[in-house]
Structure 1
Amino acid sequence: MKPLAPLLVAIAVALAHPARADSPPVDFGPLAKLVATTNTAIGHPTGMAIAVVHDGKVVYQDYVGLADIARRTPVTARTDFYIASATKPFTALEVLLKVQQGQADLAMPVQAMFPGLHFAGIDAGAVTLRDLLVHTSGIDNEPLVWATAFSGLHDPDTLRALVARSGTSAEDAHGTFEYTNVGYNIASVWLDARFKRPWQAQLQQDVFEPLDMRQTSAYISQAQARGWAMALPYSLASDDPQAPLYLTKSDDTMQAAGGMVSTAPDLARFLIAQLEPPAGNHPSLAGAIERSHATQVDLKARYLDFERTGYALGWYTGEYKGHRLLHHFGGFAGFHAHLSLMPDENAGLVVLCNEDMLCPRMTNLVADYVYGALLRQTGNEAAVAKRFAALPGEATGLRQQVRRQRAAIRARPWHLTLPREAYAGTYANPLLGTMRIHVDRHGAMAIHWGRLHAVATGYPKDDQVRVELVPNSGNVMAFQVDHGKVVAVRLEDMVFAKPADNTDRH
């Protein structure tokens, strides 16, 4: 007779993990009601697109709110959203494809990636391509980040020159995890030069087309030329939350650390490929996907409900509701994107929003409901409904807090040592372009730098002003005064010089 022990173990396993075929479909109807009711209660009709994938197919979609408030344009399955840093899994995948094809090596040092460049500020022989993709490079390069993501003032030559001027991070040494856009920016400059095509075109051919992502692009101009419906950016933190934010993306600010537009159905296809790599049709792509999931560096962090214990290649890793979860989110002025997958449940979630302050919290609760429902957690619906019910009050509190902060900022006195007109003029940086500052007859000081513009407010230090070049994110600009004349202005660690007798008063 055969021993009973193996049979008993098999029965226990089957009872603990019943076959999915025996389970009734998950009811996502309550989630749709929670999202719609909460959106109405908040009174801010921005949009949200949700897609849930499970066992190789999309099992739920929901589209609420407006892509364009003024025109009352609803969000639909064909609405494109900017996904910001959720671009990183795609860029990492493109590099891994090159590795799969024998055209790159993750152990390749930065100096080998750029053999003609001289790096004075970093040990380019020690920092590797892998370091760039997993945020352990220890490199700091804010000018490169500003040029590629915000000002848009760059070309291949200035980008290479900016890469060469990389320095070491003041906080984190090489080998220590520090999340930043710098590594992906540097990797994309290498991709462009090494493979003689923009990284955007490489993604189009190697990832978007094989995965049938027909309404996804890393070019804004392509989306516009094809007439895709684009969600506009909004924020509850704005003076007028119903008005779109001024800062919108263009081709020259779509960068490899955050430079894609896509729809929920297209991103659902991407997640399905992550969960079931297409080994039959695209073996290199499948191999790259599988490799991208392996944790490369350990860390200890948390974002809302999401524990982060590691970073793979383009993905955070950690446990969520007792299961391994890979995820990457994207945040930019007026947008929030959520991509996550739970491999052992063959499940994933896409959430896209065109609002940046409250949406991350709402998306957090959408994930709570979706994964709780897929895991058949007892009491999931009631627990999540209670959290949703608190959101309108949180929105009111946040708006009140923002109003107080803005009033305090506007009330700050100015501490300029010269008349305001003396600060007007054109300031130049050979690698970062020109910045124009003009003062109107009422004394308002306006700053223009590439795609960016702002009106300055006072700051409690001599010859410094506060600017909000990126909506809802303040920076300090410090003027250098020498012998009664303004000779330069500094933003972060970027210095723009003012030629003598260069003024601009309006």
Structure 2
Amino acid sequence: MKFRLPFIAILFSVYCLSQNIVSNVDAVVNTEMKERKIPGMQIAVVQNGKIVLNKSYGVANIQNNLPVKNTSVFPINSTTKVFTAVAVMQLLEQGKIGLSDSISKYLENLPSEWQKITVEQLMTHISGLPDILSVLDPATGSLGAMRTENAMWEKIKLSPLNFKTGEQSSYNQTNYYLLGKIIEKVSGDSFVNFVTQNQFNRVGMKNTQFGDSRTVIPNYSPTYRFRKNLDGRPLKEEMLFNDYYEFPDFTFPGAGLNCTSEDFANWIIALQNNKLFQKSSTLQTMWSPIKLNNGTATSWTRGWGIAKFREHHTAIGMSGGSRSVFLIYPDDNLAVVVLTNLAGSYPEDFIEEIAGCYNAEIIKADPLTYLRKNLKKIGFDKAIDFVKNEKKQNPKWSIQEDELNNWAYRMLAKNQLNEASEIFKLNVFLFPDSWNAYDSYGEILLKMNNKTKAIEMYKKSIQLNPSNENGKKVLLDISGA
């Protein structure tokens, strides 16, 4: 018995630590669900190649008051794109696709200016292609009056490029529509079958399938959305509604996948254990950005929209529909999956706080999460002072302009005007040579009826970028008001 006591003590200590971590995760989740009014959530955490947490919170179906279970299935929207990227890389290993190949090698009857676009330019959204969403129904995503895929395709081909290929990055569903067509062409199988056979079945993802609001999906957790308007009329107050959306099957390579956090976690484990690829180098290639024409790295890696290449605690992942997100931390042998049933819940804002429950250093490694967590304590009006002090203590501390801008717009979408205003203001302070920072700050000042200050910001934006036509139009509208 004397020899067993130390071992039992160690087990008890490990158990207590695990319970403390779970309590900390619960605290983050419960706080965010309350603040963001998220009905239901499902999370999974992978550590050292094993699922260490798989937990459900809240209500999956409000109408019938059904709780979220570990078998509840959630839409993941654009997070689907990482599965498409893996399919492309599998075909690369088979020698059937070349990342630098022109897409005209695989697809016929493309407009002439599209033909030299490469496969990896589609994967990283630097093609400049017009977006098929521009010709689909903006409210539901359906084909609408066009009725057929062919009609949609013929119409989108008439549109010019939005910019010269490789000059800039612009998120675009056409890129993944074409990747789906290439996968089908070289594999000789449908996109859905190829992904199902080579990923879902290989991993054992029994609760994962493609579909949308029209599809009968077992254990489905429908998505909800808060709306301020309905049927073209403003509501007296914001209300929660069912969120109906269609993903025509030809758009599946870009969206339309539904799964559980457990299925997703098992997919991550398989991905990192080389069960989906033949060579470990394939994963590293997929997780590497390519270059724009000017030599700068793309914000996307090949198929993955979140790429935080930090000095420590690198994070790779993807978000979708403002309701789902996952991050893999290769250096920490850690991954986190967060699925919700509220469109506009933006779990990407707090996923790194969950990761921080397993490694506290991750929070400070991510400037946005670190800033957000501290401003919630001290007040958003202290944003500039906090950043000044942080940079004084750590000259290497920095945050990206786009990260701040996107975060501020997410808060604006939730009508958090004061908080969003302070972050737009911080962006102007940190990036005084950015025309877009001034343009964005001017936008929210105008929403807050501070016309004088808004005019000042728009004028500065146009001074920095004389081609800012939107800013000129806003100024003209203000002057005519």
Question: TM-score, length-normalised on structure 2?
Answer: 0.63
C-alpha deviations, 1:344-394, integer Å up to 9, x for none? 11111111112233x21x542242242353245799999987667799xx9
Write the distance in 2 (CA, Å) between the matches of 1:265 and 1:383: 30
C-alpha deviations, 1:2-41, integer Å up to 9, x for none? xxxxxxxxxxxxxxxxxxx9x9547121220342255346
Aligned 1:9-28 pairs, distance under 5 A: 25=18, 27-28=21-22
Structure 2 counterpart of 1:336, from 303, 319, 323: 323
> How big is the shift at 1:251?
4.8
Structure 1 counterpart of 2:343, from 336, 356, 361: 356
Structure 2 counterpart of 1:29, from 23, 28, 31: 23
Amino acid at match of 1:97: Q
Matched, 1:365 2:354: no
Aligned 1:270-285 pairs, distance under 5 A: 270-278=267-275, 283-284=277-278
Amino acid at match of 1:257: G
Amino acid at match of 1:218: F
> Per the alignment, do residues 261 and 163 of structure 1 end up closer, same or farther by CA in structure 2, a change over 3 Å counting?
same
Write the distance in 2 (CA, Å) between the matches of 1:397 and 1:200: 37
SS at match of 1:89: helix
SS at match of 2:46: strand
Q: CA RMSD in A?
A: 4.0
Aligned 1:147-166 pairs, distance under 5 A: 150-152=141-143, 155=148, 157-158=150-151, 160-162=153-155, 164-165=157-158
Amino acid at match of 1:341: I
SS at match of 2:73: strand
> How big is the shift at 1:133?
0.9
Map of 1:314 onto structure 2: 303
Write the distance in 2 (CA, Å) between the matches of 1:374 and 1:247: 38
Map of 2:174 onto structure 1: 182
**Structure 1 contact 39–45 (Cα < 8 Å) conserved:** yes
Unaligned runs of 5+ in 2: 1-13, 230-234, 380-407, 418-481
SS at match of 2:189: coil
**Structure 1 contact 38–388 (Cα < 8 Å) conserved:** no
> Per the alignment, do residues 77 and 108 of structure 1 end up closer, same or farther by CA in structure 2, a change over 3 Å counting?
same
Please say which structure displays the higher CA radius of gyration.
Answer: 1
SS at match of 2:136: helix
Map of 1:87 onto structure 2: 80
**Structure 2 contact 277–283 (Cα < 8 Å) conserved:** no
Matched, 1:260 2:257: yes
C-alpha deviations, 1:443-484, integer Å up to 9, x for none? xxxxxxxxxxxxxxxxxxxxxxxxxxxxxxxxxxxxxxxxxx
Unaligned runs of 5+ in 1: 1-20, 301-307, 403-506
* Structure with the largest fraction of strand: 1
Amino acid at match of 2:48: D
Amino acid at match of 2:333: N
SS at match of 2:56: strand
Map of 1:49 onto structure 2: 42
Write the distance in 2 (CA, Å) between the matches of 1:137 and 1:92: 16
Map of 2:119 onto structure 1: 129
Give the number of aligned pairs. Answer: 359
Q: Which segment is superposed worse, 193-202 or 232-241?
A: 232-241
> Per the alignment, do residues 162 and 205 of structure 1 end up closer, same or farther by CA in structure 2, a change over 3 Å counting?
farther
Structure 2 counterpart of 1:234, from 225, 230, 240: 225
Map of 2:464 onto structure 1: none
> Per the alignment, do residues 119 and 63 of structure 1 end up closer, same or farther by CA in structure 2, a change over 3 Å counting?
same
Amino acid at match of 1:355: L
> Per the alignment, do residues 65 and 290 of structure 1 end up closer, same or farther by CA in structure 2, a change over 3 Å counting?
same
> How big is the shift at 1:91?
0.6
> How big is the shift at 1:283?
4.6
Aligned 1:356-395 pairs, distance under 5 A: 356-357=343-344, 359-360=345-346, 363-371=348-356, 373-375=358-360
Map of 1:214 onto structure 2: 206
Map of 1:452 onto structure 2: none
Amino acid at match of 1:325: A
> How big is the shift at 1:54?
0.7
Map of 1:345 onto structure 2: 332
Write the distance in 2 (CA, Å) between the matches of 1:146 and 1:64: 34
Map of 1:110 onto structure 2: 103
Q: Which segment is superposed worse, 203-212 or 213-222?
A: 213-222
Amino acid at match of 1:109: S
Q: Which segment is superposed worse, 267-276 or 161-170?
A: 161-170
Matched, 1:61 2:50: no
> Per the alignment, do residues 378 and 24 of structure 1 end up closer, same or farther by CA in structure 2, a change over 3 Å counting?
farther
Write the distance in 2 (CA, Å) between the matches of 1:65 and 1:235: 17
> Per the alignment, do residues 311 and 232 of structure 1 end up closer, same or farther by CA in structure 2, a change over 3 Å counting?
closer
> Per the alignment, do residues 79 and 310 of structure 1 end up closer, same or farther by CA in structure 2, a change over 3 Å counting?
same
SS at match of 1:79: coil
* Structure with the largest fraction of helix: 2
> Per the alignment, do residues 263 and 118 of structure 1 end up closer, same or farther by CA in structure 2, a change over 3 Å counting?
closer
Write the distance in 2 (CA, Å) between the matches of 1:55 and 1:265: 15
Write the distance in 1 (CA, Å) between the matches of 2:228 and 2:55: 25
Write the distance in 2 (CA, Å) between the matches of 1:273 and 1:297: 29
**Structure 1 contact 144–185 (Cα < 8 Å) conserved:** no
**Structure 2 contact 38–340 (Cα < 8 Å) conserved:** no
> How big is the shift at 1:323?
1.9
> Per the alignment, do residues 247 and 147 of structure 1 end up closer, same or farther by CA in structure 2, a change over 3 Å counting?
same
> Per the alignment, do residues 67 and 252 of structure 1 end up closer, same or farther by CA in structure 2, a change over 3 Å counting?
same
